[in-house]
Chains A and B, each alone.
Chain A
């Protein structure tokens, strides 16, 4: 068992590197369990203790599975599956005494690597994948080459990886992709963040703290002014006194292609958010083929967005839709009772006003004049959330303002709705595109009037103009969002910001070219190469072409590598023949039937100067041919002696030997003669 221990640290390294991306997803006890097992294996190795026996291992496996059942109950999802792999990875190093166990453990490490990819497809994940494969492959080399040094094995692993990349690229682009899913289930969204499908002012805000990217936008022309960047996602129509809900039976827009005075074309790369809403700048006029536009100007895709999606849209930059019919009673409907003070306020503010614009202005002025504060930490609301907000706390964020405003409007008899989506975005100077983060999530309102149709009104802008002009942090009091970075890394913040933008520009291109590569892109890619992609026969042909090209690659490689490298099998007889030829040039012919010893004696008599070399070669020859136990290096010595043997021709009659000690120059002289 002793000789097997040297593999333990490297195998643990491979498992550790593979498990690292899962560290945050796993239950804490699984992480502790892994760490404990691996530490135990290392301690056993260091102090020469035998690893636990089969019984203990089985017991540990049972305990682990019971623990999993207690943690996950019957919820079998990706996390449970990864935890199971982690438990296996924890116990497996206890039994790696055979070559088979070691190989299987390394394969397990490869398998864990792919599970982390199913969780995240980012550029970072891709870079990390290459690192994990490099380490795991080096460990695989290590267990197959016990005598080698780990450093060389890492180098070989890197070489193999580099050589494998062309194969990988060819297969990646050519392997036929399918539309949809193989067995019908797709990965469930884990920890979905982003805007929610209900709006409940008074709930806790998490969005502002979430700096992950919601989507990125490239504009064909210039990026519009930040006050136009209202990214429409969902329209909330139904209010039940505390929360807003969207209309589930949306009608398709009759004619999406409306007039476009200030059209802007842009391409959105949307991160998966596991619902069907697509984001469009107000107001979309042209949508992607795969999308559907509704009569409230929201756009949805056919299926939930579970992977990065790219789509192109065209919007008309304006703040109202243009003349439309009266939208219906649903837009002025309010619960029968509740929030009485707000209703009274609405009546008061709209008294003697018939023009919608006047009512809007008086309500906005009310917000402006009454010391409303924009904050991310509003107090929780009670039973009458609108009253609580308007008359007691006066503290809240966009949802509070949008909801209260829409409530007041409806109370005043003006059709109003709340729109959820994103507002603004950071411009990445490295790519000249817009990054819209989850923290840019926003809610605003739209009111209807006869002439302009739906008109956008953003009450947050009145209370906190900074929120719109300079992003989510802009609207807050100083210090409210100061994180670790702002507190301690202030001198470097500019640099950090630059680096972040640089990385984001990379990621965006990665997403555009890599993550978005699917059936349609492959089709386009191949068509550009001049390969037609017929849906039925294409995949099969491509598969065959892929396999064929792989074999072609191997064949070509072998051919180039090995061409002309084979030597004819040389053997003892052949070498001896060479010796005889040299001797005949030196004037001693071997008669047929003459044994080697006889010949050597004759040669020694004729050419006494060569005697010692002839004897050496003859002795070795006899040893190789007839001795039961020739020395291990006999053949080498024989071959060397024959090669070096370069006798002077007979007629020169020199005593000076030219053999053995002969320098190359001497041999050359002889050859010239």
Chain B
């Protein structure tokens, strides 16, 4: 039952009968015990009203089972998303749910058994439920399983589904503050000193060719060397530092510390709106700026493995 769902679940998915399981909760089992005690009392005293109450409550729990089942059946899990986080923070998985034709109440989502707040849904509503998973180290965090469940209305039965989406959360290294040590390594810009702004006009570096770029600015030299099509960047706003951070030049004892320091540097550079690039063993990110660039760099740090450096 559980093993079947080990394979990755394809999203979006509908919680149909094959996916939804139902079982009494702990409280439901306690309630059944209470009912058995009541039944014993009714049998002993031959009390018809007692029988009636026991059977009414029994009926209520059975009906509540159906209500619980219906509350979750047909619910659609549209997507699971997770923004990147720094190690040590909670990875927040946003599970996007849609209701379909029913009103749904008190739907909870568990990621790795950690519960989110429960949510209500209107008809044809869609909502995002967040579930947080703590992170310890950088890398790709793949939560073991997600559970969408409900005990509504009486808390006696729990209906749930377990799924394993192909979604992981990128966990950046925890930033570790230190001096910013940019290297002067930069492809095609060896004449730069320490990466600081050159005296030359507005020339700020090379960027990949994009349709529409002027032919006059194509870096023919690089093209002739077979490095690809680059455009010389003559951006007017380019009076900024251009830094390159090199993994190997970071003074630190081990890889993780280096990555943490690099992370901190990237963050600082981004804050100061600098141009920066990243050199990791096996991977080089050419200088750029902006949030997208920062995330690209941080992701490279997050997924960095020693194998890459050897290879």
Contacts and interface: CB of A to CB of B under 8 A. Distances in A.
Interface of A: 99-100, 103-104, 107, 110-111, 113-114, 117-118, 121, 125-126, 129-130, 133, 137, 140-141, 143-148, 153, 156, 160-161, 163-168, 171-172, 175, 177-178, 181-183, 185-187, 307, 514-515, 517-518, 550, 553-554, 557-558, 561-562, 565-572, 624, 628-630, 632-636
20 contacts: A100-B27, A103-B27, A110-B38, A110-B57, A114-B50, A117-B50, A147-B120, A148-B105, A148-B120, A164-B58, A167-B58, A175-B51, A554-B62, A561-B70, A565-B73, A569-B12, A569-B14, A571-B11, A628-B299, A630-B81
B223 interface: no
A118 B41 contact: yes
Contact of A164 (B40, B59, B79): B59
B236 to A, nearest CB: 29
Specify which of B38, B60, B299 lies most central, judged by the most chain A CB atoms within 10 Å of its CB: B60
A558 B66 contact: yes
Contacts of B10: 569, 571
Given A129-B49, A143-B155, A147-B106, 17 more contacts: A100-B27, A117-B49, A121-B47, A130-B56, A137-B60, A140-B153, A146-B106, A147-B118, A147-B119, A148-B120, A156-B67, A164-B57, A182-B44, A562-B17, A571-B12, A629-B83, A636-B96
Contacts of B48: 121, 172, 514-515, 517-518
Nearest to A308: B48
A110 B38 CA distance: 10
Going nearest first, the 10 A-B pairs with the smallest beta carbon separation are A164-B59, A167-B59, A171-B55, A566-B16, A182-B44, A144-B155, A168-B55, A117-B49, A164-B60, A103-B27
A104 B30 contact: yes
A6 B38 CA distance: 30
Contact of A566 (B65, B74, B105, B152): B74
Residue picked from A103, A113, A121, A557, most chain B C-beta under 10 Å: A103
A107 B30 contact: yes
A182 B44 CA distance: 5
A156 B82 CA distance: 36
Contact of A160 (B16, B74, B153): B153
A145 B106 CA distance: 6
Contacts of B40: 182
B64 to A, nearest CB: 6
A441 B118 CA distance: 64
Interface in B25-57: 27, 30-31, 34, 37-38, 40-57
A163 B65 CA distance: 12
A530 to B, nearest CB: 23
B12 A570 contact: yes
B145 interface: no
A636 B53 CA distance: 47
B211 to A, nearest CB: 10
A632 B128 contact: yes
A214 B51 CA distance: 25
B270 interface: no
Nearest to B98: A636
B207 interface: no
Contacts of A130: 56
B123 interface: no
Nearest to B211: A601
B59 A171 contact: yes
Interface string B67-107: 10110011000110111100000000010101000000110
B30 A103 contact: yes
Contact of A145 (B52, B55, B152): B152
A130 B55 CA distance: 12
Contacts of A117: 47, 49-50, 53
B170 interface: yes
Contacts of A137: 60, 154
Contacts of B45: 118, 181, 186-187
A133 B41 CA distance: 18
Contacts of A571: 10-13
Contact of B59 (A166, A557, A624, A629): A166
B252 interface: no
B153 A141 contact: yes
Contacts of A554: 62, 65-66
A636 B44 CA distance: 60
Contact of B46 (A177, A566, A567): A177
Contact of B58 (A103, A140, A168, A558): A168
Contacts of B63: 160, 163-164, 167
Contact of B17 (A178, A550, A566): A566
B56 to A, nearest CB: 4
Nearest to B153: A141
Contacts of B41: 114, 118
Contacts of A126: 49, 52
A665 B259 CA distance: 60
B59 A165 contact: yes
B19 to A, nearest CB: 9
A550 B49 contact: no
A113 B62 contact: no
B38 to A, nearest CB: 5
A163 B63 CA distance: 7
A144 B61 CA distance: 14
A630 B94 CA distance: 11
A168 B170 contact: no
A167 B14 contact: no
Given A118-B50, A147-B120, A172 B57 contact: no
A635 B74 contact: no
Contacts of A143: 155
Contacts of B153: 140-141, 144-145, 153, 156, 160
A307 B105 CA distance: 45
B106 A168 contact: no
B194 interface: no
Contact of A161 (B51, B60, B83): B60
A133 B52 CA distance: 11
Contacts of A550: 62
A628 B295 CA distance: 10
Interface in B198-221: none
Nearest to B120: A147
A156 B67 CA distance: 10
A167 B62 CA distance: 9
A438 B37 CA distance: 35
Contact of B73 (A146, A167, A562): A562
A165 B66 CA distance: 15
Contact of B34 (A110, A141, A145, A628): A110
A27 B61 CA distance: 34
Contacts of B106: 144-148
B221 to A, nearest CB: 29
A168 B42 CA distance: 14
B126 interface: yes
A171 B58 contact: yes
Contacts of B84: 628-629
B96 A121 contact: no
A630 B47 contact: no
B263 interface: no
B269 interface: no
Given A110-B34, A569-B10, A569-B13, A183 B56 contact: no
